[in-house]
Amino acid sequence: MKKWILFATALCVVTVAGALYASATKASAAASTTAYTLTVNGKEIQTSKTELMPFEQKGTVLVPLRATAESLGYKVSWIAADKATRVEDSIQSVIVKDGSTLAKFTGKLKVINLTQDVELPVPVQSRKGVTYVPASFFEPFFNEVVVKEGNVSISAQMSSIQ
């Protein structure tokens, strides 16, 4: 009888521990898959497909390159020979490749040379035909990037003379 009670107690402990572990794992997974919205110049980018939503990887939020860049008014083009993407505005351009953490900016603003290599915190990546870049990718284009409470906000910096 004592063996039976000991066995039943051990079985209950294992069952409860397993349930607690499974519950903690689900909560951890839910916490790491924060749903982000994307706002560009004050307007929320409506994405009907979940594969176009920003996501987090290793503490860095990635945004869809084309949708974000075109919302900012930039031209986006594919360079087939280099298997790279070019993003450009009126004063500078940048080339990025899938799997690379290097963004090569070129440009000039009167006497200020804007040519620089920028090391990205995580590699550029493609998912289901959509290229993603870290949100900070848009900072060298003179944009303000704010990631806060599930929202990625990218806005052109404005200056004024007072």
Question: Tens digit of pLDDT for each residue in 87-97?
Answer: 999 889 999 99
User: Would you say residue 62 has pLDDT above 80?
Assistant: yes
User: Would you say residue 37 has pLDDT above 70?
Assistant: yes
Question: Which of the pair, 13 or 95, is modelled with greater confidence?
Answer: 95
pTM recorded for the entire structure: 0.73
What is the separation, in whole angstroms, between the first and last Cα of the chain?
88
Q: Where does the pLDDT of residue 45 fall: very low under 50, low under 70, confident under 90, or very high at 90 and above? A: confident
Judge whether 124 and 132 are in contact, CB under 8 Å.
yes
User: Would you say residue 17 has pLDDT above 60?
Assistant: no
CA distances from 151 to 6, 24, 147 (A): 52, 25, 6
Mean pLDDT value across residues 128-156: 92
Question: Which of the pair, 40 or 34, is modelled with greater confidence?
Answer: 40
Q: What is the pLDDT of residue 49?
A: 63
Q: What is the pLDDT of residue 125?
A: 95
| Whole-number Å distance between alpha carbons of 106 and 13 | 63
Question: Which of the pair, 162 or 64, is modelled with greater confidence?
Answer: 64
Judge whether 108 and 115 are in contact, CB under 8 Å.
yes
Lookup result for tokens 């294992």: 14
Q: What are phi and psi of 103, to 5 degrees?
A: -115, 120
Mean pLDDT value across residues 15-32: 45
